[in-house]
Amino acid sequence: MAKIQVAIVGAGPAGLLLSQLLHRAGIECLLLERHTRDYVERRIRAGLLEWTSVELLRDAGVGERMMREGLVHHGVVLAFDGRVHRIDLAGLAGRHMLVYGQTEIQRDLDEAAAGRTVWEAEDVKIHEFETAHPQVTYTRDGVSHTVECDFIAGCDGYHGVCRASVPSGRIREFERIYPFGWLGILADVPPVHDELIYVNHSRGFALCSMRSRTRSRYYVQCPLQDRVEDWPDERVWGELKARLPEQVGARLDTGPSIEKSIAPLRSFVAEPMRFGRLFLAGDAAHIVPPTGAKGLNLAASDVRLLSDALIEYYRDGRETPLEEYSQRALARVWMAARFSWWFTTLMHKFSDDPFAHKLQLAEFEYLTESEAAAKAVAENYTGLPFSQAHPHHP
Ligand code: RFL
Ligand code: PHB
């Protein structure tokens, strides 16, 4: 039977980054991914990195292209019924952000991993993870494999096999589903503005983002039951323009879409994030709605805590950081869950209830007038520092 130190399930950003950090520390790991490399690399998802995520990618030795091609953002714009307010992230929080697509991070990490990933691993199963001898089994090209390991990292996303393998009495799940989705469009047209614009409009939310100076990423809030076929490009551009402040909409460049998809919005946290020798990280343990762009950044901060803990275990034999992983990760997860929920609530149209809209407007007024309120947004948006506190005891 093959033997490895750490078996990682899922080659999304969490799994690939963990494998890279462990590999650099001399820890042997095996990374198992259900899909093909091509499929995983093509998924268009996040685009905005907190600076702690940027630093982690640099520590992992994959920051070179990111620092060359990424766009540094010092501020972000909020628009309400045509009124516009900029939040000076750098001035208020002392931190900035980097625009660099998840597809690019995935590519950089894949290249660094060169051959350490088993793509198209079918029927991955995890066994005996509450004992000292966990095992992972999978099938590749019709051949079954069994691998014995010290630890299993469940980096297999929301629909993965790892969280689903935990007996239901051992896990607690917290969830909120939002009554709308985001329709995203990617197009090779210059971004309408050099910073991101989040829009609260009576027709619904909109977001102007980007991947580079020549590639734009835009989103519009849409009904949950809508399908991509309901949204030909012209309809997306028309709807986006209608929701943008007039002076912004007037300079919107449009063009054929290179990708279009609809994502539902969900808040989800599973507690704890450790079960014996199984550790969950990233979307496998939690989902946030994309308002605020925390999903990928949370995956990165989980991986930072987990890789530090594993490296310390193999170097000094210390188990405390592994034992504290769940509590420390969850403390940060809940802060991001709170901010993503709050920002989603502030920016979207939930109903035709005029009272709800008046409250959103009052909150916007407060943000424009109170430096303390704007600072709270800037601190959360750019990413809260790791806390030593352990407010949760799952
Ligand atoms: P991922 O990226 O989902 O990767 C998990 C990997 O595990 C594989 N897998 C398995 N492999 C083997 N055996 C199994 N049984 C397996 N089951 C699953 C999957 O094929 C996959 O390759 O999770 P990870 O690494 O934790 O990374 C998290 C981020 O990808 C995620 O938080 C963000 O992309 C969330 N997200 C967004 N975040 C933002 O900050 N901004 C966005 O605009 C944004 N858009 C999105 C998103 C997530 C989406 N999903 C998950 C549907 C748009 C979408 C559509
Ligand atoms: C994106 O560029 O895809 C993006 C940016 C900011 C968000 C969500 C998505 O809050």
pLDDT above 60 for 213: yes
In a domain, 293, yes or no: yes
Query: CA distances (Å), 31 to each of 6, 104, 107, in order?
Result: 9, 19, 16
CA of 361 to the centre of ligand 1 (A): 33
pLDDT above 90 for 387: no
Over residues 322-337, mean pLDDT: 97
| Nearest-ligand number for the alpha carbon of 186 | 2
For the segment 336-365, what is each residue's pLDDT rounded down to a tens digit? 999 999 999 999 999 999 999 999 999 999
- Closest residue to atom 6 of ligand 2, CA basis: 293
What share of the chain in percent tops pLDDT 70?
98
Over residues 366-387, mean pLDDT: 93
Query: According to the model, what pLDDT value does residue 115 have?
Result: 80
Query: According to the model, what pLDDT value does residue 392 have?
Result: 47
In a domain, 306, yes or no: yes
Query: According to the model, what pLDDT value does residue 394 have?
Result: 43
Q: How many CB atoms lie within 10 A of CB 64?
A: 11
Number of compact structural domains in the chain: 1
Give the residue numbers annotated as catalytic, written as ranges: 73, 198, 290, 294, 381
Lowest mean pLDDT among 39-43, 255-259, 294-298, 350-354: 39-43
In a domain, 115, yes or no: yes
pLDDT above 90 for 157: yes
Lowest mean pLDDT among 39-48, 190-199, 292-301, 322-331: 39-48
In a domain, 388, yes or no: no
Query: According to the model, what pLDDT value does residue 43 have?
Result: 87
Range of the domain at 57: 2-71+99-176+266-347
Banded pLDDT at 68 (limits 50, 70, 90): very high
CA of 317 to the centre of ligand 2 (A): 40
CA 7 to chain centre: 22
In a domain, 390, yes or no: no
Query: According to the model, what pLDDT value does residue 388 have?
Result: 52
pLDDT above 50 for 391: no
Helix (H) or strand (E) holding 21: helix 13-24
Does the Cβ of 48 fall within 6 Å of ligand 2? yes
pLDDT above 60 for 393: no
Chain mean pLDDT for the chain:
95
Lowest mean pLDDT among 78-82, 147-151, 218-222, 241-245: 78-82
Mutational test site, ligand 2, from 97, 195, 205, 207, max ligand atoms within 8 Å of CB: 207
Query: CA distances (Å), 266 to each of 158, 289, 330, in order?
Result: 11, 5, 17
What CATH code is carried by the domain that includes residue 151?
3.50.50.60
Given a contact cutoff of 8 angstroms between Cβ atoms, the answer to whether 52 and 300 are in contact is yes
Over residues 210-223, mean pLDDT: 97
CA of 71 to the centre of ligand 1 (A): 23
In a domain, 211, yes or no: no
Query: What are the pocket residues of ligand 1 if the criterion is a CB atom closer than 6 Å to any ligand atom?
Result: 9-15, 32-35, 40, 45-46, 102, 121, 124, 155-157, 159-161, 263, 282-283, 290, 293-296, 299
CA of 97 to the centre of ligand 1 (A): 21
pLDDT above 90 for 368: yes
Query: According to the model, what pLDDT value does residue 289 have?
Result: 98
In a domain, 358, yes or no: no
First and final C-alpha spacing in the chain: 35
For the segment 281-318, what is each residue's pLDDT rounded down to a tens digit? 999 999 999 999 999 999 999 999 999 999 999 999 99
Mutational test site, ligand 1, from 30, 99, 102, max ligand atoms within 8 Å of CB: 102
Banded pLDDT at 1 (limits 50, 70, 90): confident
Banded pLDDT at 4 (limits 50, 70, 90): very high
Measured distance CA(18)–CA(27) in Å, rounded: 11
Measured distance CA(1)–CA(246) in Å, rounded: 65
SS (H, E, C) 305-358: HHHHHHHHHHHHCCCHHHHHHHHHHHHHHHHHHHHHHHHHHHHCCCCCCHHHHH
Structure tokens that stand for 265 in this block? 């919005």
Q: Which atom of ligand 1 is least distant from the CA of 162?
A: 15
If one compares 45 and 21, the residue with the highest pLDDT of the two is 21
Q: Contacts for 255-259 with beta carbons within 8 Å, 24 or more apart?
A: 255/187, 255/188, 255/189, 256/187, 257/185, 257/186, 257/187, 257/233, 258/186, 258/187, 258/188, 259/44, 259/184, 259/185, 259/186
In a domain, 18, yes or no: yes
Query: According to the model, what pLDDT value does residue 42 have?
Result: 86
pLDDT above 60 for 242: yes
pTM, rounded to two decimals: 0.96
Given a contact cutoff of 8 angstroms between Cβ atoms, the answer to whether 8 and 284 are in contact is no
pLDDT above 60 for 250: yes
Measured distance CA(3)–CA(151) in Å, rounded: 11
Query: According to the model, what pLDDT value does residue 145 have?
Result: 97
Query: According to the model, what pLDDT value does residue 389 have?
Result: 47
